[in-house]
Amino acid sequence: MEWRGQRESDNVEDVRGSRVGRTAVVGGGIGTVVLALIYMALGGDPRVVLDAAQQLAPADRGTPGPVADTAASAEQKQFVAVVLAETEDVWRAAFEQRGGHYLEPKLVLFTGAVESACGTAASAMGPFYCPGDQRVFLDLSFFDELAGRFGAPGEFARAYVIAHEVGHHVQKLLGISSRVHAAEQQADEARANALSVRLELQADCYAGVWANRSQRALKLSAEDIRDALGAASAVGDDRLQKAARGYVTPDSFTHGSSAQRMHWFEQGFRAGALEACDTFAGQQPE
């Protein structure tokens, strides 16, 4: 992956070091621990966790202020800006081909906790997209978690994380996520989980579409694609549940298994077209 020297997006908002009033705390029971681990990986709509976590604790009352970048964090910020710019270029062209207009999302860099239109979120939830303000939220420390804790190193593994969250923005613009979330409100727990899985896997598929269309600009290699597949596998519900409690309950999946996440990323990558993902999740939830 060759990203240095590429265009950087102007849509990165850096609020690292800012203080928030209160932080959502996920606690109470092994079920919420598993849910927190899933969202630590690649969250979709964080309200799923926020609704479940009712405890609140005061935020750190230390003096807030801008974060002084190290050489490593400055490079990570530049990397994020380049990847976001490439998502803008790809999705703008894709929407224009369909006769539509792509509204670029903002990407917010934060540390510790952050306020969003979806509520207050802790960095332990991992990267997430909030449809309420059409922003992707990312604590750069997650990249270390991805490589160390989840065993998914590589720059394109990090790019996949960003592309997945931007995939949720694409769903927002296409009206898919609102229809699925409305259906979730009317469904029982098992059905709601199944709908959540479909939404997440479509975001993986969209990440694959983006990877296909970015091959030339980023000079992607077969190793880069393997890194993305490794990240998709690392954050599968089955793998996270197995690590958290030693067994797997497929009916409680919210993001999909490792095999499913890899499959739908590959599906999008092979096709390079949104339509390949539409045939999976559809424009109306079943």
pLDDT of residue 284: 37
Asked whether the predicted pLDDT for residue 188 surpasses 80, the reply is yes
CA nearest to 210, candidates 85, 96, 46, 43: 85
Taking the CA atoms of 183, 187, 193 and 195 in sequence, report the sign of the dihedral they define.
Answer: negative
Q: CA–CA separation, 99 vs 116, rounded Å?
A: 31
More confident residue, 85 or 56: 85
pLDDT value at residue 285: 33
Minimum mean pLDDT range among 90-94, 99-103, 114-118, 249-253 = 249-253
What pLDDT was estimated at residue 203? 94
pLDDT greater than 50 at residue 168: yes
DSSP 3-state of 70:
coil
Mean pLDDT of 249-270: 82
> CA 133, CA 126: separation in Å to the nearest integer?
18
What pLDDT, on the 0 to 100 scale, is given for residue 22? 47
Banded pLDDT at 72 (limits 50, 70, 90):
confident
Determine which of 14-28, 100-114, 148-162, 235-249 has the lowest per-residue pLDDT on average: 14-28
Give residue 65's pLDDT.
52
| pLDDT band, very low/low/confident/very high, at 85 (cuts 50, 70, 90) | very high
- pTM of the predicted structure, to 2 decimals: 0.81
Token digits of residue 241: 């549940």
Q: What amino acid is encoded at 70 in this protein?
A: T
How is 147-167 classified by DSSP, letter by letter? HHTS---SHHHHHHHHHHHHH
Q: Residue 96 pLDDT > 60, yes or no? A: yes
User: How far apart, in Å, do the first and last CA atoms of the chain sit?
Assistant: 38
Q: What is the pLDDT of residue 75?
A: 93
Q: What percent of the chain has pLDDT over 90?
A: 44
Read off the pLDDT of residues 11-24 as tens digits, 9 standing for 90 and up. Answer: 999 999 877 654 44
Please answer whether residues 78 and 107 qualify as being in contact, where contact means their C-beta atoms are separated by less than 8 angstroms: no
- Please report the pLDDT score of residue 231 as a whole number: 87
Q: Which helix (H) or strand (E) is 279 found in, with range?
A: helix 274-281
* Burial grade of 161 (CB within 10 A; 0-12, 13-18, 19 or more): buried
Residues 6+ positions from 106 with CB-CB distance below 8 Å:
11, 12, 13, 133, 134, 135, 136
What does the pLDDT read at residue 192? Answer: 82
Q: What is the mean pLDDT of the chain?
A: 79
Q: Is the pLDDT of residue 207 over 90?
A: yes
Residue 193 pLDDT grade (very low, low, confident, very high; cuts 50, 70, 90): confident
The maximal CA–CA distance of the chain, rounded, in angstroms, is 50
Q: Is 221 left (phi over 0), alpha (psi -120 to 50) or beta?
A: beta
- pLDDT tens digits, 125-159: 889 999 989 999 999 999 988 888 888 889 999 99
Q: How far is CA 196 from CA 216, 237, 285, in A?
A: 32, 12, 10
CA dist., res. 150 & res. 155, Å (int): 14
Is the confidence at residue 66, as pLDDT, over 90? Answer: no
**Interval 25-46 mean pLDDT:** 37
Q: Cα–Cα distances in Å, from 70 out to 75, 138, 149, 150, 206?
A: 8, 17, 22, 24, 33
